[in-house]
Amino acid sequence: MAKTDLIGGSLWEQYSTIVNERMTNPRFMGEITDDEAGAMGARLVVADWGAEVCGDAIRLFWAVDPETDKILMAKYKTFGCGTAIASSDVMAEMCIGCTVDEALKLTNLDVERALRDNENTPAIPPQKMHCSVMAYDVIKKAASIYKDVDVDSLEEENIVCECARVTLRTIKDVIRINDLETVEEITHYTKAGAFCKSCIRPGGHEKRRHYLVDILNEVRQEMES
């Protein structure tokens, strides 16, 4: 399969060599069977997550030690673009050796940083950052299955920008403290809206609960009243 079948040719040069390697030679793609988990004395957890807008989907397999909650092995299967494959591969590797609670602290930003060739150069173009969010979402789903809780209960705060992990509270505080008047200023201060841009206004790549334009209008009205 050609690289351009997985990633658009015009975008290819914006990807790190690590993304290239993980896309073409993934290390943790596959599945863990009940027998394999049993041989490790582990509980098998299988979690599915999909992004309806772009059609990407992932199935995450964890073999978890029930006595320590440590993830002994992680694998995945994915249907998606090269960014989704590379992000999922690194995500699976990062889970291994973590407890379930430690894995929950991993975010798409951690995955993206692990894909960088150097710390100052992003691994993927901004418009593809949403692909790494799926890796974070499936961890939450797997943890919710293991803990037998609702997946929404594992989200500590109301996230507005999934790509940059910026919360509603942070955005409102930044607007008030810095007297911001434009969405561009919000992005400059917080990075919200800097990547796939779905959170800026309705009609973007993915539907959001909150949009920067609405948050800005609401806070400005409160400040000026």
Q: Mind listing the pLDDT tens digit for each residue in 117-132?
A: 998 888 988 777 777 7
Specify the residue for token string 């599945």.
Answer: 31
**Which ranges in the chain are annotated with CATH 3.90.1010.10?**
3-154
Q: Confirm whether 196 is a catalytic residue.
A: no
26 three-state secondary structure: coil
How far, in Å, CA of 131 to CA of 58, rounded? 11
Given 98, 131, 163, 199, the catalytic residue: 131
Architecture of domain 3-154: Alpha-Beta Complex (3.90)
Q: Confirm whether 81 is a catalytic residue.
A: no
How far, in Å, CA of 225 to CA of 213, rounded? 18
What confidence tens digit (pLDDT) does each residue in 153-202 have?
A: 887 678 899 888 888 988 998 999 999 999 999 999 888 998 889 999 99
Q: What is the pLDDT of residue 9?
A: 52
**Which ranges in the chain are annotated with CATH 1.10.10?**
159-224
pTM above 0.85, yes or no: no
Question: Among 1.10.3470, 1.20.140, 1.10.10, 1.10.357, what is the CATH number of 159-224?
Answer: 1.10.10
